[in-house]
Structure 1
Amino acid sequence: MKICKQIDQYIEFVRSDEAVVCEEQLLLCNFVEKVFTEEDVYVDKEQLERYLGLEKYFPYKLLPWEQFCFALHNCVYKREDGQLRFPYLIILVGRGAGKNGYLAFEDFALVTPVNGVKEYHIDIFATSEDQAKTTFEDIYNILEDNKRFFKNTFKWNLECITNIRTRSKIKYHTRAPDTKDGGRPGKVDFDEYHAYKDYKLIEVATGGLGKKDFPRRTVISTQGDIRDGPLDELLETCLQILKGEIPDNGKLPFICWLDDPEEVKDEEKWQKANPSLRNFPTLLTEMRMEYEEYKLDPVNHTSFMTKRMNRPPGETQYCVTDWKNLEKATRSLPDLRNHSCVAGIDYSKTNDFVAAGLLFKVGDKRYWMHHTWVCKKSRDLPRIKYPLKEAEEEGVLTMVDDVEIDPEYVTDWLLEKSKLYKIESVVMDNFRQTWLREALGKIGFSDEKKNLKLIRPSDEMKVAPVIGYMFARGLIAWGTSKIMRWYTWNSKAVTDKKGNVTYEKIEPRSRKTDGFKAFVAAVTDEERIKQRRIIKNRIGTVC
C-alpha cells in the first residue's frame, strides 16, 4: 500500500535484504500499515513538505528513519475529528544516533506558522541541566548562525526561544516550570527518559497538555541503569502495542536495540541498535574503539551494552578480568626499597586463610607484594587444588600449625616490611575488625593516628573501575608466584542493576579469594601512597 514517500520508503527499506534491523522495527512497519488499512486517517502531505522545507536552515538533513518518525508524529490526522493520530512519539535508539538533532528540528518546526497554532509552547525536560539544554542549544546555535535571516521572525536568548509570528516559546527545564510560563504547553519533550526514577515530574510536566490544539509528547532516550522505572514500564507498554496485545492510545514506538546481547560480537548487527550507523562512519570508528575496551573489561564498560546497544546487562557476573591479563600481572617486582605503600588485609576466617599485602604505585604502575597464612586445621584444605606447597617454597605462604591464625603473624610481617618500606596506612574489612585492631595498634596503626581504614562494599564499588583499568592496561604486577593469579581467577565481579560492582567468591570452600580481597582493600586507599619524584638527567632516570 502507498501512504506517502517518507513513510513508504522507510518501510520498504526495513523489509529489504539490505536492512539490518531489530524485530521491533518490522513490527512497527506492520503496525503502521494496519492503522492506515483499518482506520480513516491521512497524511497532510502539503504540511509535511512545508515542514521538511525548513531543513535548509539546519546543518544536517533528517535521515530516512527520522523523516518516517516526523511524518507519522506530526502530519497524520484522523478524518473524523481532525486530531493527530500519533501525538505520542517514543524514540529509543543507541547513543550517537542523532536523537537530539531530530528533536531540535521537530521543535523548531512546530513553533513556526506551518503548525498553524499560536502560542504553541514547547517544554524540554531532563534530569540534568546539561541534558535539558542539549536540544535547546542546538536550535539556539542555528538561530545564532543565521542572525540576519531570523532577526525578524525569532527572538532568542539562553533561556527562551520565541517565534515572533506565532508567539510560541521553547524552554528547557529540570523541574516543574512556573504555572504562568509552563501551564499551557503545546508539546512536552523528555530527553534521556531512562534517568527518571519516578513519575513526579513527568506528571506535572504533562498536566497542562490539552489546553492547546494538537498536544504532543516526544520521548527520546537510550537505555540506562535504572530498572523498573518509567522507561521500563513505557517500553513494556510499547512492546505490547507492537505485538497487538493492547490499543496504542496514540503512542508511536520507535525502538532500536539488539535482538540478542550475543549479537554485539557481530559488528554489522550494531545497526539494529543504531539506525544512523550506516550513515555515520566516524561514529562507527568510535564504537569499534569502545567495543575493544568493552571486551578487555566488560565489568567497567557496561555502558557499551547499555547505551550503544540498548541492552543493559542487569545483574551480571563476570570474571574480574581476562586470563591473559592475569598472566601479564604474574611477573617480577622491581626493587621498591624505601618506597611509600599501603597495606591491605583480608581475614574473613582466622581458622582458614588470611592474606596481607603492600601496594606500591610508581607513575601509573602498581606493584603488589603479598603473603598468605593458612591454618593447617582448615576443613577446606582437602578441597583445594592449588599447590599450596609450591607457594610455601616460593616464600609467599606460611602454614600455621594451630587451631587459628594469631594476629601477630600478620603484624610481625608488617613490622618486618616496615623496615624496608614506608607503610602509610593499613586497610581491612570492617567485618571482624576487632580481631586485628589491638594487634595493629601495638605496631602503630590505629584510628587515633588516622592510619587505619575500615572499608565496606561501597568502597569496593568506587575502585572497581580503577582495578579494571589496571588489568586491561597491564599496569599491575604481583610477583612470579601464581597464587595471586589463582585468588583473582576465583573471584567474580558482580554488577547490580544500578551498575555498581562488588567482588565475591565464585565458590567459597575450594576457590579462595583472600589475596585478591586484600589487594582490593589496599586499592581503596592508594591515594595515600606518596609518589617519588622522578628526575631525568643525561645519565638516565633516578628517583
Structure 2
Amino acid sequence: MSLPTWIFDGSEIDDPFGYGQRAVDFLRILRHPKSRLAGRAFELPEWQERIVRRIYGPCHSNGRRIVRNVIILLPRGNRKTSLGAALGLLHTIGPERLNGGQANIAAADRKQARIAYEEAVGIVRADKRIASKMGFQSYKNRLSHPKSGAVLEALSADAGTQHGRTPTFALVDELHAWKKRELWDVIRTGLVKVPGSLLVVITTAGRGQENIAFDTIDYARKVARGEIDDPATLPILFETPADANWRDEEVWHRVNPGLANGFPDIEGLRQLAREAENKPADREAFRQLHLNVWLDHSADPFVEMAIYDEGAEAIDEADLENEPCWIAVDASLTTDLTAIVASFPDGDDSHRVMAWFFVPEENLRARADRDGVPYPRWAEEGRIIPTPGNVIDYRAVEQFIRELCVRFEVREIAFDPAYARQISVPLAEDGYPVVEMRQGWRTMAPAIAELERVIIGRRFRHDGNPVLRWCFDNVAVEIDKAGNKSFHKGKSKDRIDGAVAAAMAVARATEGDSGRSVYADADARPEGLLVF
C-alpha cells in the first residue's frame, strides 16, 4: 500500500523562511460556510496542515520554493475540493499572491470546474471583511482582487482553446476524468513562464493506463519510490493495492486520512460496502473511488491486466527472422484502427506476439481526443503507422504484410472477410498463404478460450506494446448459455481490434504448430475457415 508516511510520523518539516507557517496561518483565518468549528473557521486537520507545510516550507537558499508540482491521489470524500480552493485563495488574496497573478482551477468539464469555483466563493463570502474587497464575475467563473489585479478563475477542459494563459498557480481537479490533454498542456507550458509557479493535482484513482492521469500518477509513484530524482515534484499518494481486502475497514482508514476527522462518513462507506457485496459494478466503483485502486479500463475484463502485464519482455524482431509465425488481421472500418498480430510459437506451448496498427494520418489529434489515447505519441514511437489521408490506405497494409512475409516464415495470414477483401484478395492471388477466419461465435469462441488459456498460463509473451494493451484493456466479455465467450467493446468508441487479431493468431498458431485443434470440442469445424 502506497502511503506518504511523513504526514503522520511527526517528523520535522523544513521551513527556513517561515513560508510554510504563514501559509498555515492564512488558511486558519479563513472561514467556511459549512464548518463545524467556532466562528465557522476553516477546518484544517493535522494531516492537511502537514501537506501545506511540506509544499510551502522547504526552500532553496535564495528563498525559492523547492516544490513546483504536487500530485495528490486521495479518495472521494476527503475534502479535496475544499483544500484545493483554499490553496487557490492563498495565491489570490494570501501571502503567495503576486500582483496581476493568475490562479486557475481546472477540471474536466464546466460542471466540475464550477463546483471548485463555488467552493472558493463560499469561503470568501463567509467572511464579510474579505468579500468586501473582492470582485465577483460569476458568469465568467472568475474571482478577482482589484487592488492587486490577482484573479482566481475556473477553467474546463471541454471549453475549447485556452492558449495564452500564464498561471502562477493551477489546481487540476479530478485529473482521472480528463478526456483531452489540450488544457493540461496549456497549463503546464504556461506555468513555466513564471518563476515560483505551482501546480497542484488532486484526483481520485482512474481506469486504464492510456490517459493523462495514469501517466502523471505513475511518474509520481516513481518519484516516491526513488526511481526518479525530482525534488520539485511532491507525491502524496493514498492508494490501495488491487489485491487488498476491500471489505477490511483497516484498509479504509489507512487510505482515507479524513476518517479520523469524521469524513467521509464511515456509516455511509459501510452501507456502500454492503451493497457492493452482490453488485460487481458497485464493488469496482467502491474500490476505485473510496480505496483508490487504479482499475482496468473494462468493467468486465477478459483477463486481469496484471496477469497480462507479466508477459511483457523485450522482444528483438531480428531474433524472429525466418521463424515460423501465424499472422492475423483485423481490418476495421476505413476510419478506425486496423491491427496485424503475429504469433510465434515457442515450443513450450508459449507464444511470442508482435503487433502493428494502422490509422488514418489526417486529424490524428482529433482521433486521439475521440478515443482518449495518445495516437500522436504512439505514431512518434512507431507503435502505430499512420497512412496518408482520412481513411486507412489498405494498400499500405497489404504492402506491410508482404514485407512481413519476407522477414518471417509466415505459415498463414488469417482474415475476417467482412472488411479485409481489399487486402486479402491481392495477397491470395499472388500465392500468399491466406485463410478466411470469420468472426462468428463458432470460430471465435474456441479461439478466445485458447487465448485465455495461454495468457492465464503465463505463456503469452509480448513486448509491452501500449496499443495492444489498450485493446485488451477495452475488451468486455459476454458469455452465452453454452459458456461460449465473445469479445465486445466496453464502450462504443473503444478499440479491441488488437485483442481480436491476437485471438485469431494464437488459435491458428496453436493448431498449425502443434496440430492440436482448438476447435476439438466444437460440433464441427467452424464455418468460414477456408483457404482462398
- The normalised TM-score by structure 2 is 0.52
Q: Distance in 2 between the 1:313 and 1:28 partners?
A: 26
Map of 1:272 onto structure 2: 254
Kindly tell me: are residues 68 and 285 of structure 1, through their superposed partners in 2, closer, same or farther at Cα, counting changes over 3 Å?
same
Q: Is the 8 A contact 1:319 1:493 kept in 2?
A: no
- 51, 64, 69: which one aligns with 2:26: 51
- 124, 127, 147: which one aligns with 1:165: 147
Q: Is the 8 A contact 2:204 2:292 kept in 1?
A: yes
Map of 2:55 onto structure 1: 73
Residue 272 (structure 1) shift: 2.6
Residue 145 (structure 1) shift: 4.1
Map of 2:305 onto structure 1: none
- 282, 293, 296: which one aligns with 2:275: 293
Q: Does 1:261 align with 2:243?
A: yes
Kindly tell me: are residues 151 and 48 of structure 1, through their superposed partners in 2, closer, same or farther at Cα, counting changes over 3 Å?
closer
Q: Distance in 2 between the 1:511 and 1:24 partners?
A: 50
- State the superposition RMSD in angstroms: 4.2
Residue 312 (structure 1) shift: 3.3
Q: Is the 8 A contact 1:223 1:307 kept in 2?
A: yes
Q: Does 1:119 align with 2:94?
A: no
What is the SS of the residue equivalent to 1:265? coil
Q: Does 1:26 align with 2:16?
A: no
Q: Is the 8 A contact 2:7 2:51 kept in 1?
A: no
What is the SS of the residue equivalent to 1:172? strand
Q: Does 1:245 align with 2:214?
A: no
State the Cα deviation string for residues 97-144 of structure 1 (Å, max 9, x = none): 111111011111221142252122111211211111121111122334
Q: Distance in 2 between the 1:122 and 1:319 partners?
A: 40
Map of 1:95 onto structure 2: 76
Kindly tell me: are residues 226 and 319 of structure 1, through their superposed partners in 2, closer, same or farther at Cα, counting changes over 3 Å?
closer
Map of 2:90 onto structure 1: 109
Kindly tell me: are residues 271 and 157 of structure 1, through their superposed partners in 2, closer, same or farther at Cα, counting changes over 3 Å?
same
Q: Distance in 2 between the 1:186 and 1:237 partners?
A: 23
What is the SS of the residue equivalent to 1:122? strand
Map of 2:202 onto structure 1: 220
Q: Which amino acid aligns with 1:153?
A: K
Q: Which amino acid aligns with 2:86?
A: F
Q: Distance in 2 between the 1:169 and 1:210 partners?
A: 18
Q: Which amino acid aligns with 1:54?
A: I
- The normalised TM-score by structure 1 is 0.51
Residue 490 (structure 1) shift: 4.4
Structure 2: where are the runs of 5+ without partners? 36-42, 303-438, 443-473, 501-517, 524-532
Q: Distance in 1 between the 2:45 and 2:491 partners?
A: 33
Residue 496 (structure 1) shift: 7.8
Q: Which amino acid aligns with 2:27?
A: L
Q: Distance in 1 between the 2:297 and 2:182 partners?
A: 27
Q: Distance in 2 between the 1:319 and 1:166 partners?
A: 53
Q: Distance in 2 between the 1:25 and 1:99 partners?
A: 16
Q: Distance in 2 between the 1:116 and 1:313 partners?
A: 38
Kindly tell me: are residues 173 and 489 of structure 1, through their superposed partners in 2, closer, same or farther at Cα, counting changes over 3 Å?
farther
Kindly tell me: are residues 42 and 145 of structure 1, through their superposed partners in 2, closer, same or farther at Cα, counting changes over 3 Å?
closer
Q: Distance in 2 between the 1:94 and 1:495 partners?
A: 30
Q: Which amino acid aligns with 1:150?
A: I
Structure 1: where are the runs of 5+ without partners? 1-21, 321-429, 434-460, 468-485, 513-543
Residue 186 (structure 1) shift: 0.8
Q: Which amino acid aligns with 1:247?
A: D
Residue 209 (structure 1) shift: 1.7
Residue 489 (structure 1) shift: 9.6
Q: Is the 8 A contact 1:319 1:492 kept in 2?
A: no
Percent of aligned pairs with the same amino acid: 17
What is the SS of the residue equivalent to 1:276? helix
Map of 2:291 onto structure 1: 309
Kindly tell me: are residues 263 and 122 of structure 1, through their superposed partners in 2, closer, same or farther at Cα, counting changes over 3 Å?
same
What is the SS of the residue equivalent to 2:245? helix
User: Pairwise mapping of residues 140-151 of structure 1 onto structure 2 (< 5 A)?
Assistant: 140-146=121-127, 148-151=128-131
Kindly tell me: are residues 155 and 281 of structure 1, through their superposed partners in 2, closer, same or farther at Cα, counting changes over 3 Å?
closer
Map of 2:412 onto structure 1: none
- Using the TM superposition, name which of 83-92 and 193-202 deviates more: 193-202
State the Cα deviation string for residues 321-367 of structure 1 (Å, max 9, x = none): xxxxxxxxxxxxxxxxxxxxxxxxxxxxxxxxxxxxxxxxxxxxxxx
Map of 2:135 onto structure 1: 155
Q: Is the 8 A contact 1:47 1:75 kept in 2?
A: no
Q: Distance in 2 between the 1:90 and 1:207 partners?
A: 17
